[in-house]
Amino acid sequence: MTLPDDRVQQLVEQGQPVLCLDTCSLLDLLRDPTREKTYATDLEHAMGLLERIESGVLAGVVAEQVQIEFHRHVDTVAAEARERMSQLLDTIDRVEAIAVLYGAAGSLDCAHWRDHPQRARALAERWLAARTPAASSPAIVGRAWARVSHGRTPATQSKNSMEDCVVIETYLDAAVQLRAAGLTHPIVFASSNIRDYTDRAQGSALRADLAAEFDALGMHYAVNYGAARHWLGV
């Protein structure tokens, strides 16, 4: 089974909403904070969701494939964040020295920013430590291959996306388990990978084929942590 039976029963009895996290959203927690689309408000929502997972108010489900991909990419993403932060701080120091030379009053000290990548990685590791693991299986992999073969979201006729398909099939399987056991609370899949999951003509709406599968299970799609928190009601 994708989720252990005892964990499914616990979630049903406690009436916990369920957040299913994609790899990109987990890695977003430690990406370069100077990126144009990185906002403190969304990261604040991420921290709020994590606190609720750690306190048992919310279940944070992480697919086995997501954990594999996270560990494959985390060092590269963290290194890029450190490099960009270092470049930014070097630029600030250079501008500060010139400003002071020209008679500017006051001083700017951003040295404490240098530890940000370590703190960000620790936050992502907390998510994994608090997760409810969702296992893959030969049946899930088989359904993922079928999804790829037919070009169904997140795959397309021009893109394989096998790993993404394993992730989505894992979460669909988990949702089937939970609904069959009687869970009536929200189940939300969060992924910032809008290129593969959304219909760009419809903004942040899921592509129609996957939307139909989500609707059948009472699932919601969230492009960021703020949207996830909205759908989860926490």
7-11, 55-59, 71-75, 157-161: the lowest-pLDDT one: 157-161
- The pLDDT assigned to 156 comes to 81
Residue 229, C-beta contacts closer than 8 angstroms, at least 6 positions apart? 45, 48, 49
Whether 153 has a pLDDT exceeding 80, the answer reads yes
Higher pLDDT, 18 or 109: 18
Over the chain, what is the mean pLDDT? 94
Section 39-49 average pLDDT: 97
- The pLDDT assigned to 183 comes to 98
Give ∠ CA 178-49-51 in degrees, rounded to 5. 110
Cβ-based neighbour number of residue 38 at 10 Å: 12
Section 156-168 average pLDDT: 87
Residue 36, C-beta contacts closer than 8 angstroms, at least 6 positions apart? none
Query: Do 91 and 99 meet the contact criterion of CB atoms below 8 Å apart?
Result: no
Whether 115 has a pLDDT exceeding 60, the answer reads yes
83-97, 130-144, 150-164, 184-198: the lowest-pLDDT one: 150-164
Helix (H) or strand (E) holding 9: helix 5-14
Nearest C-alpha neighbor of 214 from the set 151, 169, 157: 169
Section 125-137 average pLDDT: 96
* Entry pTM: 0.93
Whether 226 has a pLDDT exceeding 60, the answer reads yes
Residues 179-208 have pLDDT tens digits of 999 999 999 999 999 999 998 756 678 999
Using 50, 70 and 90 to split pLDDT, how confident is the model at 127?
very high
To the nearest whole percent, how much of the chain has pLDDT over 90?
84
Tally DSSP H helices, then E strands, for the chain: 10, 5
- The pLDDT assigned to 158 comes to 66
